Amino acid sequence: MKKMLLLLACAGLLGAPVAKSGQDAGQDAGQDAGQDAGQDAGQDAGQAAAEVEHYAVDAGMSLPFSDAVRVGNMLYLSGKIGNLPGTAQLAAGGIQGETRQTMENIKASLEKHGSSLDEVVKCTVFLADIAEWGAMNEVYITYFAANPPARSALGASGLALGARVEIECLAALR
């Protein structure tokens, strides 16, 4: 039941028509009959699709993805690595230095697009070596001291530019 509600909530957030279960469809059949023929059956009158806005990566960095995408009041950041801003050079200091720079890059991107670390609701951490999870986590937790977001972490067989860590985040807008 919780998974179904989550899926329905996500579909509604993205403005997609929501499929109804058999029980709900039967209850709503009478209500749907009165809708205008030109209106989508899955959308209520007055409900608009969520607005989508893509934010480009910094000038000078020719990359095949957006820095972030806003859908309604949510901000989806592309994965960030510990490169020094505007360059392809990774921060010194191994996993902890890269994690610190990664988090600073995330913080800057969030603030640039109208959010902050306080509004982050979910992060996914990719590690070149899962054995470095503890060292990464020592730095990561300093950025979310009060209300840490939900998080997943996994090992990867390789990250961009030979990075040790990549982190992507989802955040609400202020």
Domain spans in the chain, listed from the N-terminal domain onward: 1-47, 52-172
The pLDDT value recorded for residue 141 is: 97
What pTM did the predictor assign?
0.72
Cα dist. 153→33, 51, 105 in Å? 47, 30, 18
The pLDDT value recorded for residue 44 is: 55
Cα within 13 Å of Cα(91), Cβ side = 22
Cα dist. 49→4, 16, 18, 21, 125 in Å? 20, 7, 12, 22, 30
As a whole number of angstroms, the distance between CA 71 and CA 53 comes to 7
> In the chain, which stretches have pLDDT less than 50?
1-39, 41-42
Whether 13 contacts 50, CB under 8 Å = yes
The pLDDT value recorded for residue 80 is: 97
Class of domain 52-172 as given by CATH: alpha beta
The pLDDT value recorded for residue 169 is: 98
